[in-house]
Amino acid sequence: MMRIGIIGMGYVGLSTAVVLADQGNEMVCVDVDMKKLEMLKRGKPPIYEKGMEEMLNRNLNRMTMTADYKDLADADILFICVPTPTKDGRCDTSYVKAAAKAINDANLKGIPVIKSTMPPTAIEDVSKVLGKMPVMNPEFLKEGTALEDTIRPDRVVIGADNIKDFEKLKEIWSFTNAPIIMASPAEASIIKYASNSFLATKVSFINEIADLCERIPNCDVGVIAKGMGMDRRIGDKFLNAGPGYGGSCFPKDTEELRNLARNIGRPMNIVDAAVSTNCRRPVEMVNKLKELMGSIRGKRIGVLGIAFKANTDDTRESVSIKIMEELVKEGAIVVAYDPKAKATIEGINQVNMKEECIRDSEGIIIATEWEEFRGLENALEGKYVLDTRRILNPELMDPRYFSTIGRGKETSKKAKTTY
């Protein structure tokens, strides 16, 4: 068992900390946000993530929460999990550099390991601040299944420039039984950007197929995705057509990969196209509603779902918010509901119950695929409904009042048997 430091207790840092504590390691968790630290000390996760509260409380006795980097003095490993947001169109590595400087100032001896997503060009800069080359150990967890993904990742990527650091990291993650990819720090960084950009491209691809299906009678993108996904070379994941991808990572990581490629002089045309397809979607969703309702000006529209996807309270780059901003621009009165997420959006009234969101609204947009929005077909009778997540049964909806994604007009019946 080791003494392990975590720097930055957000989605990645907290998930890494509780899982490694659960394996019996002694964790020292550093953050600059005192409010967050206070909550964590009381066993209250500052984010909504399935199973987090229970695992945190089970391991609190092995977790020190602190704002003082000096408490990391005896840690063998220092996982850096701070944000790398986009600033002026570029990956902002200032939080990583600030953490690196604090490590250096506190004269810490542990191996610095970067979990934050950061381009290869930044590794050299950070190593200068640290006075040594960090290990790149990119994180692949998804919000909503963060703990599961940390315990059972598909692979672990370790980008180290020496075998000693590599072996130490391999030892930490050996409990996952996942295949280990031995890489250079630069390769580890590109594996992360390429993976997120590939998945984002897959989503934009199926969204374009959905647009096509809407214009071809008797075509449903769900059947197309099923037919494609059964080919194991394609795979059935990330083929759910929807309002476009959002979240704290796909938008920023596709942007940074494009930056990197442009600066090197080899633009990534495929990722460029995936991004531009995605950027159009929020307005296209609002246009769909306008087509259905005639006009939305002055009308009350209820939006179900604020989070960027189900099972998280994260609203960063949420398409739902982009749709709401567009609705407000078009003069609609917008009311929103989400079971977990809260967001301050100008001009939006947020309510605490979905019934309240639905009751007086003329139009409804399902923007996030929360389980509790399934089966609402009856409750939505008499309303105009746009289901951007394809969770309602179209056969139970009146086509005059209903619109969805990726479904062409039905002019003939097909055999109903499912094989």
Per CB under 6 A, the segment of 40-48, 122-130, 137-145, 254-262 that binds ligand UGA is 137-145
Residue 203, contacted partner among ligand UGA, ligand NAD, none, CB below 5-8 A by kind = ligand UGA
**Is there a catalytic annotation at residue 81?**
no
Applying CB under 6 A, among 25, 137, 248, 320 the residue interacting with ligand NAD is: 248
Q: How far is the CB of 228 from ligand UGA (least distance, A)?
A: 12
Q: What are the Cα distances from residue 102, in Å, to 34, 107, 114, 160?
A: 17, 8, 14, 22
CA angle 405, 409, 415 (to 5 degrees): 100
Q: Which tokens sit at 287? A: 């246009």
> Which of 248, 376, 364, 242 lies closest to 312 in space, CA to CA?
248
Alpha-carbon distance 12 to 142, whole Å?
9
Sign of torsion over alpha carbons 373, 375, 379, 382? positive
Residue 239 contact, options ligand UGA, ligand NAD, none, Cβ 5-8 Å cut-off depending on partner type: ligand UGA
Please select the residue that binds ligand NAD; options are 4, 6, 12, 190, rule is CB under 6 A: 12
Torsion angles phi and psi, residue 200, rounded to 5: -65, -40
Is residue 238 at the binding interface for ligand UGA, with CB under 6 A as the rule?
Answer: yes
Residue closer to ligand NAD, measured from CB, 193 or 402: 193
Of 29, 219, 249, 357, catalytic: 249
CA 90 to CA 324: how far, in whole Å? 26
83 binds ligand NAD (CB under 6 A): yes
Helix ranges, 238-315 (H): 250-264, 269-293
Angle of CA points 66, 64, 167, to nearest 5°: 105
* Residue of 249, 293, 306, 324 that binds ligand UGA (CB under 6 A): 249
Residue whose CB is less far from ligand UGA, 140 or 401: 140
Determine if 369 is a binding residue for ligand NAD (CB under 6 A): no
- Binding residue (CB under 6 A) for ligand UGA from 199, 257, 274, 385: 199
- Which region holds residue 201: left if phi is over 0, alpha if psi is between -120 and 50, else beta? alpha
Question: Could you give the residue numbers annotated as active site?
Answer: 249
Binding site for ligand UGA (CB under 6 A): 117, 139-143, 196, 199, 203, 238-240, 242, 245-250, 308-309
Site for ligand NAD, rule CB under 6 A: 7-13, 30-33, 36, 81-84, 95, 98-99, 115-117, 139, 141, 143, 248-249
